Structure 1
Amino acid sequence: MTSFVAAAVQLRTGRDIAANVETACDIIREAARSGANYIQTPEMTHLLEASKASLMEKIRPEEEDLGVRSFSALARDLGIYLHIGSLAIKASEAAVANRAFLFAPDGSILARYDKIHMFDVDLPNGESWRESATYRPGRQSAVVDLPWLKLGMAVCYDVRFPAIFRAQAKAGAQMLSAPAAFTRQTGMAHWHVLQRARAIENGAFLVSAAQGGKHEDGRETYGHSIIVAPWGEIIAERDNDEPGFTLAEIDPAKVAEARGRIPAIANEQEFELATVTAPVEALT
């Protein structure tokens, strides 16, 4: 297996789909000119819209979506594997899919993945998010054969659920992904440790393109698009929240090396969980 160059594109997506697609395409072209064979963009690449009513007005079903058409053509024109971290796709008149796409160099859709875990949280700074009120969760993970290795697909909040990544690694994934729109608050606390943990525990590369900065709909995201090696070292990072990209060489041999040193996947055992209740008298 030969090495290849991966790029993580950082965006500050706004409320105008056409403008966002144009900006993303410009940065993707620049990354391709810099030698990237596989390019990943963040979650919600072509629209960040907090208002459900406005979101539903702007988005379209997959077959009518401007982003799907544009990114398919761009992958074909550049001859690259283009991983669009996710797009808001109309799944029905009442539901939205947070859907990732992997386009092949001929422009065809090689794989899709709908985000499984919904970000329903109340943060200490007063931010409150209820993705499940708008988005329909996915039910199926995805592992895709690329020419160099196998890629596992996930999105943003999924990174807090290790079982997805373990299942992908056990299915042969050597590179994992978690393109994101992490809030600034959670990103400052947990972004780097979560990315490194998922890479280390699975002995896999992890590529996570990110949204960054203050967006038109009022939210603020952390940025810091990142590429982590199987031993846990950060090999590329856009160390800010500004749009752009970061590059790293991906050598699949590093996966076998890391898994040989710490064979956690091979050593994993099935187990039963016992629950024990202390007698009441022990508490007196």
Structure 2
Amino acid sequence: MTSAPSTFKAGLIQMRTGITPAANIETAARLIAEAKAAGADYVQTPEMTNVMDVNRERLFQNIREEDSDPSLAAFRELAKKHGIYVHVGSLAIKLLPDRAANRGFLIDPQGEIVARYDKIHMFDVDLANGESYRESHTYRPGDIAITADLPWGHLGLTICYDLRFPALYRALAEAGATMLAIPSAFTRQTGEAHWNVLMRARAIETGCFVLAAAQGGKHENGRETFGHSIVVDPWGRVLAEGGTEPGVIMAEIEPALVSDARSRVPSLDHGRRFEVAEPLAEPAHLHLVRGKE
């Protein structure tokens, strides 16, 4: 029986996805080849790798069902060609003529899909700068948390806005995850405020590595994303971080750091279930006074 490698190299692909899937996949393929040349064993692309388009009609003209999606087929071939794990952060996958899934895929070095994950939390928000997002109008949310085995540990799959729901990450860690994938297309405004601190918090809370490939810059559809693809270790240290331009961010991952961090702060072993009590109808001192009557 062979033991798992003591370290591996992760490559995060930072993109600026446009409205034409074929052009986006060509860009992703080039950057994946760069990551492989730099020694990557695992490569992750960002949320919405295949297309970003605010024009709903054109979006549905350009996307396909999973079985016939050329983007997914291309990534399966790339994983096989390079002999690496390719984690497609997410693709827009058609479910119905007017409904899609925001779906991530983990593909093994043989080109086989070993895990799928549909984004659970939908980003529906109006921002102070006038930007408005209604992800639930286009995408059907998932309802199942997913983990998958890699040679170096157990990977929890999430996508972007999931980052703001810490219970999901604790559940993944309690289910055995030692690494958390958070491929994203964070807005510039929210990213500047919260991206780094939330990524570090999720790593610290769970004692996991966090791997987050991101979209960055001003997109063809007019949207601006934050970029700053990031790798964080289980103690909350940033191992690598990008800027706003497309490219490859590399980091060496040492899985043994997970058990080290968890032994120093064993909070995963100390969690307790609890109930939240209803507030008292009247201040407590009034109840005490009445108790003397």
Q: Return 5+ residue gaps in structure 2 as ranges.
A: 287-293
Cα deviations across residues 110-139 of structure 1 (Å, max 9, x unaligned)?
A: 110000000000111111100000000011
Deviations along 1:181-234, one digit per CA (max 9) or x if unpaired, are 000000000000110000000000000000000000010000000000000010
Deviations 1:133-187 (A, max 9, x none): 0000011111001111000000000000011111110011000011000000000
Amino acid at match of 1:69: A
Q: Deviations over 1:76-128 (max 9, x none)?
A: 00000000000000011121000000000000101100000000001111111
1:174 matched residue in structure 2: 178
Deviation at 1:272, TM superposition (A): 1.4
- Alpha-carbon offset, residue 275 of structure 1: 2.4
Structure of greater Rg: 2
Q: Distance in 1 between matches of 2:63 and 2:194?
A: 31
What is the rounded CA distance, in whole Å, between the counterparts of 2:183 and 2:283 in structure 1? Answer: 48
Equivalent position of 1:279 in the other structure: 282
1:85 has 2:89 as partner: yes
Q: How does the TM-score come out when normalised to structure 1?
A: 0.97
Seq. identity, %: 56
**Shift, 1:282, TM fit:** 8.3
Letter in 2 for 1:162: P
Could you tell me how far apart the structure 2 residues matched to 1:89 and 1:163 are? 26
Residue 39 of structure 2: aligned partner: 35
Alignment match, 2:144 = 140
| Number of residue pairs aligned between Structure 1 and Structure 2 | 282
Give 2:247's aligned residue: 244
Task: Classify the secondary structure of the residue corresponding to 2:96.
Answer: coil
1:218 aligns with 2:211: no
Matching residue of 1:96: 100
RMSD: 1.3
Query: Which digits, 9 at most, give the CA deviation of each residue in 1:236-270, with x for residues without a partner?
Result: 111x1100011111111000000000001001111
- 1:28-60 deviation line (CA, Å, top 9, x unaligned): 100011001000000000100011111111100
Pick the aligned partner of 2:12 from 8, 11, 19: 8
What's the CA shift for 1:7?
Answer: 1.0
* Aligned counterpart in structure 2 of residue 270 of structure 1, from 267, 273, 278: 273
Unaligned segments of structure 1, at least 5 residues: none
> Structure 2: which amino acid aligns with 1:52?
R
In structure 1, what is the Cα distance between the partners aligned to 2:284 and 2:31?
A: 66
Instruction: Give me the whole-angstrom Cα distance separating, in 1, the residues matched to 2:157 and 2:260.
Output: 22
Matched position secondary structure for 1:91: strand
Task: Read off the aligned partner of 2:280 and give its amino acid letter.
Answer: T
* Over 4 Å off, 4+ runs: 280-283
Matched residue SS, 1:72: helix
